[in-house]
Amino acid sequence: MKPKQILKIAVDLLMTASLLLLMAYSLVYGSDPTVGEAVHEWLGVGMFVLFVLHHILNRKWCKGILRGRYTSYRVLQTVLVALVLLSMCGSMISGILLSRTVFSFLGIRSGQMTARTVHMLSAYWGFVFMSLHLGLHWSGIMGMARKLTKKPSEFRKWTLRGMAALVAAYGAYAFVKRDFGSYMLLRVHFVFFDFDAPLALFLLDYVAIMGLFVFWGDFLAAMFVQRGKRS
């Protein structure tokens, strides 16, 4: 595997880990809100840096965005990239307005409620968009994994598919359990964190929710690719 490809994978893995820790907010450092908010802000800055690096490493795709023919799959992919970009910009700008540590020197105190609303929407919709985006490329990720291992047997293939279905099913349960939809639709304006519950369980649920949307992203990719072949 080429060094650039290894770097791309490392950046994507770090982005995924950062995203999960950002969703955990102050749970990462216990019930001390001051420490938790500071860590959250620095993780957000790190996430944005990784996001920029991700696009630099994929600049060839960005340069070709106005070239070539747009298949249904390419339209879906481009729309999702735009939505991820929009949610990331929303998270970063609202995060700067809400900052009490990293960008506190700016002295911004107005528009806090609006910024908080934008931050919540950007975070939860962005989580879904990024997971779907990952799902669109899941077959390629699995293809790279197969190159590093022996050719899987039919039993192994179906076992992995069964595991993916179980993760997606648990993800649907965790989506409801964690009230994820209420945050996306602003039915609740403040995120509730149970500081008595273990962080590992929270991360497990959010990994499963991510898996749910990766599953749907992979399904959409297969469906749109097949549609493109028929057209």
In the chain, domain spans: 3-230
Question: Which amino acid is located at 225 in the chain?
Answer: V
User: Which two three-digit tokens encode residue 78?
Assistant: 């481009």
pLDDT on residue 96: 94
| pLDDT digits (tens), the chain, 231 positions | 778 888 988 999 999 999 999 999 878 776 666 777 888 999 999 999 999 999 999 888 888 888 888 888 889 999 999 999 999 999 999 999 999 889 988 888 788 899 999 999 999 999 999 999 999 988 877 776 666 666 666 767 778 788 989 999 999 999 999 999 999 999 988 888 887 888 899 999 999 999 999 999 999 988 887 665 544
Length of the chain: 231
210, 131 in Cβ contact below 8 A?
yes
Question: Which amino acid is located at 128 in the chain?
Answer: V
pLDDT on residue 205: 96
3-state secondary structure labels for all residues of the chain: CCHHHHHHHHHHHHHHHHHHHHHHHHHHHCCCHHHHHHHHHHHHHHHHHHHHHHHHHCHHHHHCCCCCCCCHHHHHHHHHHHHHHHHHHHHHHHHHHHCCCCCHHHCCCCCHHHHHHHHHHHHHHHHHHHHHHHHHCHHHHHHHHHHHCCCCCHHHHHHHHHHHHHHHHHHHHHHHHCCHHHHHCCCCCCCCCCCCCCHHHHHHHHHHHHHHHHHHHHHHHHHHHHHHHHC
Question: Which amino acid is located at 104 in the chain?
Answer: S
pLDDT on residue 65: 87
Closest CA to 127 of 180, 200, 164: 180
Q: How many other CB atoms are found less than 10 A from the CB of residue 148?
A: 7
Closest CA to 125 of 99, 100, 88: 88
User: Which two three-digit tokens encode residue 34?
Assistant: 């001051």
Residue 194 Ramachandran class (φ > 0 left, ψ -120 to 50 alpha, else beta): beta
pLDDT on residue 97: 93
Residues 115, 116, 118: CA angle, nearest 5 degrees = 65
pLDDT on residue 230: 47
pLDDT on residue 151: 66
Indicate the pTM of the whole model. Answer: 0.90
